[in-house]
Chain A
Amino acid sequence: MRDLTREILELIRLTSTDLPAAVENKIRKAIENEAAGSIAKGALETICKNIELTRKNTVPICQDTGTPIFYVKYPEGWSQRRLIDQIKTAVAEATNLSFMRPNAVDTLSGANTGNNLGDQFFPTIHFEEIDGGVLTIDLMLKGGGCENVGAQYDLPDDRLHAGRDLEGVRKVVLDAVHQAQGEGCAPGFLGVAIGGDRGTSFAASKKALLRPIEHKNENNELAALEKRITDEANQLGIGPMGFSGNTTVLETRIITAHRLPASFFVSVSYMCWAFRHRKMTVQDGQALYE
Chain B
Amino acid sequence: MNDQITRRLSLPISNDGILDLHVGDPILLSGVIITGRDAVHKWLFDTFINKTRLPEGDDLKVYNAMKSILDGGVLYHCGPVVSRLDNGEYQFIAAGPTTSMREEPYQAEIMRNFNLKGVIGKGGMGAKTLAACHEVPAVYFHAVGGAAALIAETVKSVLSVHKLEFGAPEAIWVIEVIDFPVVVTMDAHGFSLHAEVRARSRDMLEKLIKS
Contact = CB atoms under 8 A, between A and B. Distances in A.
B144 A43 contact: yes
A161 B183 CA distance: 37
Given A50-B149, A63-B148, A182-B123, A101 B198 contact: no
Interface string A94-107: 00001011110100
A60 to B, nearest CB: 4
A60 B26 contact: no
B129 interface: no
B202 interface: yes
Interface string A209-252: 00000000000000000000000100111110111100000000
Contact of A59 (B152, B198, B201): B152
B209 A160 contact: yes
Interface stretch (B47-55, B66-74, B166-174): B166-174
Contact of A62 (B123, B146, B170, B201): B146
Contacts of B150: 46, 49-50, 53
Interface in B122-149: 122-124, 142, 144-149
A180 to B, nearest CB: 9
B40 to A, nearest CB: 12
Given A38-B1, A183-B99, A101 B204 contact: no
A57 interface: yes
A59 B93 contact: yes
B149 A60 contact: yes
B142 A241 contact: yes
A181 interface: yes
A110 B166 contact: yes
A65 to B, nearest CB: 7
A159 to B, nearest CB: 10
Among B2, B144, B202, which residue has the most Cβ atoms of chain A within 10 A?
Answer: B144
B96 interface: yes
B205 interface: yes
Residues of B in contact with A, size category: 35 or more
A80 interface: no
Interface in A229-279: 232, 235-239, 241-244, 272-274
A37 B183 CA distance: 13
Given A37-B3, A53-B149, A239 B197 contact: yes
Interface stretch (B56-64, B79-87, B108-116): B79-87
A35 B79 CA distance: 32
B95 interface: yes
Contacts of B147: 46-47, 49-50
A182 B121 CA distance: 12
Given A54-B148, A54-B149, A98-B82, 12 more contacts: A36-B3, A46-B181, A63-B95, A65-B81, A100-B81, A101-B94, A112-B167, A112-B169, A144-B98, A178-B201, A181-B197, A182-B145
Interface of A: 35-39, 42-43, 46-47, 49-50, 53-54, 57, 59-65, 98, 100-103, 105, 110-112, 114, 144-145, 148, 160-161, 171, 174-175, 178, 181-183, 185, 232, 235-239, 241-244, 272-274
